């Protein structure tokens, strides 16, 4: 018998999996389904101004990637607040990473088989999010959102171009020294997350031996940001830590409902609040810094201690990826863990070469907890100003004389 408290959702399904289509069509009390096997046909339907409560599209369609297609859909102003859910039929860790990077484009990812009631409840939850919570965040974001002022952008271009011209002999000498000591590229590129979760190629002089990233897991016990609990004994790494996927708060709710947004960890479903709570018990802290890192070359040690390794970031500033002053853009693996509202505020400020926590950290001889660092990032995002940036630049100069590198 149809539940009188539920009304069918107008769902557009883009894909061709017969089993899932049959599941949705069998639940007429939940869904009024419109289905197309490819994006071109679906686009024609969307342009017809039909009402759509949500869009579910397959992660891999003939001739089209689901995430890319979702990006096209978000370009339609009518669909900015329409829940878009991705559906995959095989567990895929790479797809999970790409889905995180597409945050703001897709709202969730499910792996088949999935109960239709779970899809229904998730769409209803997202509708409430878009109509209530998102509207509140938009109001806050107007206060915090970083739009680079003309004066600041002009300052960035003038400073970065002038400095690059003046230090060009230094850049050449350092490039030669790096090449002579060890094989590999002179400039190291890494994906970083900057303002508003923008992902870009972050440039630094290479200071480590080639293949250093692959050795990171072996050295996590040396991480300065490890909290040192359990009497100083090393706790289990995340890959060895057995997560409890059954949230006690979710267990109090009706079937299919959750106390917070759903995450997928190695193919398992877990609510965000419960995952974050358990994450605090792990040795793997969000930020990673290793004292006397054996992966660093002799030239690398020198250019790190003198901050010469940071000079290629002036090209990032010139391109507009970063500013001279701002919050440090984070690697993807760090940004992935800062999903809660308390910590995601730091992405609402500008990304920069130097900033508040770098100056404070050097002043404290390189010793700073993870919580202190995140707090300073938020503090800067909340209170930054052009003249405040000038003061931080002036404070950076004596801070560079400190031995500890950030």
Give the pLDDT confidence score for residue 107 in this predicted structure: 86
Which has more confidence, 277 or 89? Answer: 89
Give the pLDDT confidence score for residue 366 in this predicted structure: 53
Do 302 and 161 belong to one domain?
yes
| Domain assignment present for 210 | yes
Do 149 and 136 belong to one domain?
no
Q: Checking DSSP bridges between strand 352-354 and strand 323-325, what pairing results, if any?
A: parallel
| Domain assignment present for 60 | yes
Do 96 and 156 belong to one domain?
no
| Domain assignment present for 228 | no
Query: Which of 74-83, 142-151, 262-271 is the most confident on average?
Result: 74-83
CA distance 120 to 9: 8
Q: Is 158 exposed, middle or buried (0-12, 13-18, 19+ CB in 10 A)?
A: exposed
Do 52 and 134 belong to one domain?
yes
Do 30 and 167 belong to one domain?
no
Do 56 and 163 belong to one domain?
no
Within 8 A by CB and 6+ apart from 389, the residues are 152, 323, 324, 325
How many structural domains does the chain have?
2
pLDDT, tens digit, 9 for 90 and up, residues 252-262: 887 777 776 66
The answer on pLDDT for 310 being more than 60 is: yes
Domain C-terminal end among 118, 143, 168:
143
| Domain assignment present for 269 | no
Query: Which of 97-111, 242-256, 314-328 is the most confident on average?
Result: 314-328
The answer on pLDDT for 231 being more than 50 is: no
Range 192-213 average pLDDT: 81
pLDDT, tens digit, 9 for 90 and up, residues 138-172: 555 554 455 677 888 899 999 999 999 999 999 99
């Amino acid at each position: 018998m149809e539940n009188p408290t539920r009304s069918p959702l107008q769902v557009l399904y883009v894909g061709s999996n017969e089993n899932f289509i049959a599941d949705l069509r069998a639940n007429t009390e939940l869904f009024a389904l419109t289905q197309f096997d490819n994006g071109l046909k679906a686009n024609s339907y969307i342009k017809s101004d039909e009402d759509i409560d949500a869009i579910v599209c397959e992660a891999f369609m003939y001739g089209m990637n689901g995430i890319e297609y979702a990006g096209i859909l978000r370009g339609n102003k009518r669909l900015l607040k329409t829940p878009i859910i991705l559906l995959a039929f095989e567990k895929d860790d790479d797809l999970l990473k790409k889905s995180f990077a597409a945050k703001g484009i897709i709202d969730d990812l499910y792996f088949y088989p999935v109960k239709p009631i779970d899809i229904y409840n998730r769409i209803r939850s997202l509708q409430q999010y878009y109509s209530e919570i998102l509207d509140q965040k938009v109001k806050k974001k107007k206060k915090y959102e970083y739009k680079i002022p003309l004066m600041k952008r002009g300052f960035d271009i003038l400073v970065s171009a002038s400095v690059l011209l003046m230090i060009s002999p230094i850049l050449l000498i350092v490039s030669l020294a790096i090449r002579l000591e060890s094989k590999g590229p002179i400039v190291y590129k890494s994906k970083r997350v900057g303002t508003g979760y923008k992902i870009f190629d972050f440039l630094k002089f290479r200071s480590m031996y080639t293949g250093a990233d692959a050795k990171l897991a072996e050295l996590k016990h040396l991480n300065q940001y490890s909290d040192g609990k359990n009497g100083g004994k090393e706790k289990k790494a995340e890959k060895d830590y057995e997560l409890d996927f059954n949230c006690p708060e979710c267990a109090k709710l009706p079937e299919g409902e959750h106390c917070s947004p759903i995450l997928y960890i190695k193919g398992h479903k877990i609510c965000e609040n419960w995952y974050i709570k358990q994450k605090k018990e792990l040795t793997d802290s969000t930020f990673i810094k290793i004292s006397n890192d054996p992966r660093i070359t002799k030239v690398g040690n020198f250019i790190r201690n003198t901050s010469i390794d940071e000079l290629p970031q002036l090209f990032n500033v010139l391109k507009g990826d970063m500013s001279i002053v701002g919050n440090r853009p984070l690697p993807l693996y760090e940004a992935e863990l800062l999903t809660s509202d308390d910590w995601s505020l730091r992405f609402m400020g500008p990304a920069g070469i130097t900033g508040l926590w770098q100056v404070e950290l050097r002043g404290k001889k390189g010793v700073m907890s993870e919580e202190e660092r995140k707090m300073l990032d938020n503090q800067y995002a909340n209170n930054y100003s052009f003249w405040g940036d000038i003061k931080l630049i002036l404070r950076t100069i004596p801070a560079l004389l400190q031995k500890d590198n950030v």
